[in-house]
């Protein structure tokens, strides 16, 4: 390399260093605001599972799965929409709207007088909850370049992990005390605090244009198709094997319509709208495709663990809602340091593939080992095996956005991140639905016939939800009926782990498709803090030959970074 070339490199590196935004008090107050917002969503998401048996019992409900899936439908279906809206109306307004919707939904959940009311309220809550996951991460991508983002992902992960640890404990404690409504009501002051913090501190650029012009930019057709398709698939998954047989038209029709709808959505996005919700450019390289597939497969397993480990402890080990929350606390306690380790290792080593490969192997070992757990296993066995699951899960959760974002221009961050969280949230629906369908179908075969007959006689219905509605009854059953019911649950849940092991194996295989793509060192200047814009302008004036970061981001290709 010539001396002149070395000088150019030194000037470029110095300019890049100087052009980074100063991480002063304003910057860190924004990060704190985002952490509080994420805390709201995580607290609710993780705490509902432990309180659910008590809630279903108190409201005399049958459609237990819809408490989780109704939230997931609304959160998932609008996640791609959130990315487009944040580009059109700005990040700050989207954060305020999602916080307000989440608070409203929480109030309605706490006031629910029936399962139908609760399910409808969860839909409203999900409309805000989805945005509380995606928009904070979009804002972080605006402020921190990808190659430095590992440390900040760890910070946000700490907020999520703290809420994940507290959520089951608080939900279980309130359920045991017969005060499960306060689990939803407590979201109101936390959401209010987050709302005020975002309003005061998150002052990022606002796109220009009139309201009419902004509304005209929205891909209404694409959003309508993806909402309808997502809802259709979830209805089929929720009804399958529980309300109707898998072979019935009630299940097959919504599943087929949903699948056709997703194909139509992708075709529509490629040819019709000027500003598509999911542009084809997001999926034009194998590394991003691998990242999205890993993002989809991972939450299926994790959400199934959260829901059905709690079910195992309560049904097979006579654990109260509170005790089951303590027992699954391992997931949060181990996944947190794993997530932090992933972020710091990426920052230090500037690679992400080896960590993800190792995580999938550990994850697979943990899920596969849970198959051996039965109703008579000592409680220490599933708790210990959950450590393996949590370690792998934490690394994967904190790492899949690297292969997704690295090959793409930073100008596509908002859309790419929204689609990432769409995949993650939609997968959670599959985790709940697949586990619930397996459990319901297996219990129908394995529970003693007289026990099912007694439940049907009490409810006056031939179609009975055999999971959460009967768990509170197991503790008081006489022997040997109690043991028979416990073993039916243990064998049924074991089949869930077999299915999840196969899904985990698929996740490891698709992770092998990733290429070694360098991470971005620049951010999107359109959304930078004012300090960043001033620094960039002064640099360009001092050295007009220095290429502007915005020019680099405007590159039409997304494969320039591939090695």
Nearest to 149 by CA among 411, 515, 398, 407: 398
Token duo for residue 60:
């005399």
Contact of 143 with 131, CB cutoff 8 Å:
no
**pLDDT attached to residue 497:** 95
Q: Is the peptide bond before 413 cis (omega within 30 degrees of 0)?
A: no
Contact of 190 with 40, CB cutoff 8 Å:
yes
Longest pairwise C-alpha distance within the chain:
89
HEC readout, 332-357: HHHHHHHHHHHHHHHHHHCCCHHHHH
**Helices within 272-320 (DSSP H only):** 286-316
* Sequence-ordered list of residues with C-beta below 8 angstroms from that of 25, at least 6 positions apart, any chain: none
What is the gyration radius of the CA atoms in the chain, in angstroms?
Answer: 24
Contact of 408 with 281, CB cutoff 8 Å:
yes
Helix (H), strand (E) at residue 456: helix 449-459
CA–CA gap between residue 412 and residue 459 (Å, rounded): 53
If you write DSSP's letter for every residue of 177-189 in order, what string do you get?
TT-THHHHHTHHH
**pLDDT attached to residue 441:** 80
Contact of 137 with 421, CB cutoff 8 Å:
yes
Q: At what angle do helices 220-239 and 413-446 cross, to 10 degrees?
A: 20
**3-state class of 244 per DSSP?**
strand
Q: What is the pLDDT along the chain (563 residues), one digit of tens a residue?
A: 444 433 433 343 344 444 455 677 878 888 888 888 888 888 887 778 778 778 887 887 666 667 777 887 787 777 777 777 887 888 888 889 999 999 999 999 988 888 888 888 998 998 888 888 888 888 888 888 888 877 887 788 778 778 877 887 888 788 878 888 898 998 899 889 889 888 888 877 777 777 777 777 778 888 888 888 888 887 887 777 666 777 788 888 999 999 999 899 889 888 888 888 777 888 889 999 999 999 999 999 998 998 899 889 988 888 887 788 788 888 878 888 898 888 889 888 889 999 999 999 999 999 999 999 998 899 999 999 999 999 999 999 889 989 998 998 888 887 888 888 888 888 877 887 788 878 888 888 888 887 777 776 665 555 555 666 678 788 888 888 888 888 989 999 999 999 999 999 999 999 999 998 888 777 766 666 654 444 444 333 433 333 333 333 333 333 334 33
Looking at the DSSP bridge assignments, the partners of residue 240 are: 244
CA–CA gap between residue 491 and residue 447 (Å, rounded): 10
Contact of 171 with 321, CB cutoff 8 Å:
yes
**pLDDT attached to residue 257:** 93
CA–CA gap between residue 408 and residue 215 (Å, rounded): 26
Helices vs. strands in the chain: H and E counts, helices first: 24, 0
CA–CA gap between residue 370 and residue 420 (Å, rounded): 28
Integer angstrom CA distances of residue 17 from 440, 537, 539? 57, 14, 11
Contact of 98 with 195, CB cutoff 8 Å:
no
**pLDDT attached to residue 372:** 92
Tokens 């960039």 sit at which residue? 536
Q: What is the DSSP letter of 520?
A: P
Please give the model's pTM, rounded to 2 decimal places: 0.78
Q: 10 Å Cβ neighbour count for 469? A: 19
* Sequence-ordered list of residues with C-beta below 8 angstroms from that of 415, at least 6 positions apart, any chain: 80, 83, 84, 87, 277, 278, 279, 282
**3-state class of 23 per DSSP?**
coil
If you write DSSP's letter for every residue of 377-427 in order, what string do you get?
S-THHHHHHHHHHHHHHHHHHHHTHHHHHTTS-GGGHHHHHHHHHHHHHHH
Nearest to 418 by CA among 102, 130, 225: 130
Q: Is the peptide bond before 500 cis (omega within 30 degrees of 0)?
A: no
Contact of 515 with 352, CB cutoff 8 Å:
no
Contact of 96 with 199, CB cutoff 8 Å:
yes
Q: What is the DSSP letter of 16?
A: H
**pLDDT attached to residue 237:** 76
Q: 374 φ, ψ to 5°?
A: -125, -175
**3-state class of 240 per DSSP?**
strand
Nearest to 297 by CA among 202, 230, 364: 364
Contact of 343 with 409, CB cutoff 8 Å:
no
Nearest to 293 by CA among 498, 519, 509, 78: 509
**3-state class of 9 per DSSP?**
helix
């Amino acid at each position: 390399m010539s001396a002149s070339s070395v000088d150019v490199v030194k000037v470029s590196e110095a300019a890049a260093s100087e052009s980074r935004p100063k991480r002063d008090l304003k910057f860190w107050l924004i990060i704190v605001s985002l952490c509080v917002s994420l805390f709201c969503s995580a607290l609710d998401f993780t705490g509902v599972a432990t309180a659910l048996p008590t809630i279903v019992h108190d409201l005399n409900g049958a459609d237990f799965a819809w408490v989780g899936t109704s939230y997931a439908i609304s959160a998932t279906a609008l996640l791609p929409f959130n990315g487009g809206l944040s580009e059109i109306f700005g990040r700050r307004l989207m954060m305020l709207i999602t916080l307000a919707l989440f608070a409203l939904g929480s109030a309605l959940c706490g006031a629910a007088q029936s399962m139908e009311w609760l399910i409808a309220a969860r839909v409203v809550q999900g409309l805000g909850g989805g945005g509380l996951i995606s928009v904070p991460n979009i804002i972080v991508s605006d402020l921190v370049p990808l190659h430095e983002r590992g440390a900040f992902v760890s910070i946000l992960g700490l907020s999520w992990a703290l809420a994940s640890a507290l959520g089951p404990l608080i939900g279980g404690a309130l359920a045991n005390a017969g005060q499960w409504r306060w689990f939803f009501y407590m979201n109101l002051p936390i959401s209010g605090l987050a709302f005020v913090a975002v309003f005061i501190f998150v002052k990022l650029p606002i796109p220009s244009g009139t309201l009419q012009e902004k509304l005209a930019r929205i891909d209404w057709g694409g959003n309508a198709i993806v909402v309808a398709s997502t809802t259709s698939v979830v209805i089929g998954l929720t009804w399958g094997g529980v309300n109707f047989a898998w072979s019935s038209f009630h299940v097959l029709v919504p599943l087929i319509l949903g699948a056709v709808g997703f194909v139509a959505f992708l075709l529509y996005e490629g040819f019709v709208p000027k500003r598509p919700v999911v542009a084809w450019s997001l999926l034009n390289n194998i590394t991003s495709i691998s990242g999205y597939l890993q993002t989809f497969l991972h939450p299926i397993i994790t959400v199934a663990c959260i829901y059905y480990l709690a079910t195992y402890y309560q049904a097979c080990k006579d654990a109260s809602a509170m005790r089951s929350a303590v027992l699954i606390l391992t997931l949060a306690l181990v996944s947190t340091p794993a997530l932090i380790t992933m972020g710091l290792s990426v920052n230090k080593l500037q690679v992400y593939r080896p960590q993800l490969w190792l995580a999938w192997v550990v994850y697979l070992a943990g899920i596969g080992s849970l198959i051996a757990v039965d109703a008579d296993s000592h409680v220490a066995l599933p708790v210990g095996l959950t450590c393996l699951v949590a370690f792998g899960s934490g690394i994967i959760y904190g790492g899949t956005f690297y292969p997704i974002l690295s090959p793409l221009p930073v100008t596509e961050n908002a859309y790419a991140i929204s689609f990432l969280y769409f995949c993650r949230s939609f997968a959670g629906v599959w985790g709940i639905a697949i586990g619930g369908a397996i459990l319901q179908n297996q219990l129908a075969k394995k529970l003693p016939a007289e026990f099912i007959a007694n439940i049907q006689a009490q409810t006056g219905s031939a179609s009975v939800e055999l999971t959460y509605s009967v768990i509170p009854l197991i503790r008081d059953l006489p022997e040997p009926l109690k043991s028979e019911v416990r073993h039916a649950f243990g064998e049924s849940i074991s089949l869930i782990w077999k299915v999840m092991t196969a899904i985990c194996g698929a996740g490891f295989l698709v992770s092998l498709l990733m290429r070694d793509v360098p991470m971005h060192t620049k951010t999107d200047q359109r959304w930078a803090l004012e300090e960043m814009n001033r620094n960039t302008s002064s640099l360009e004036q001092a050295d007009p030959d220095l290429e502007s970061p915005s020019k680099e981001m405007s590159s039409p290709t997304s494969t320039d970074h591939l090695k």
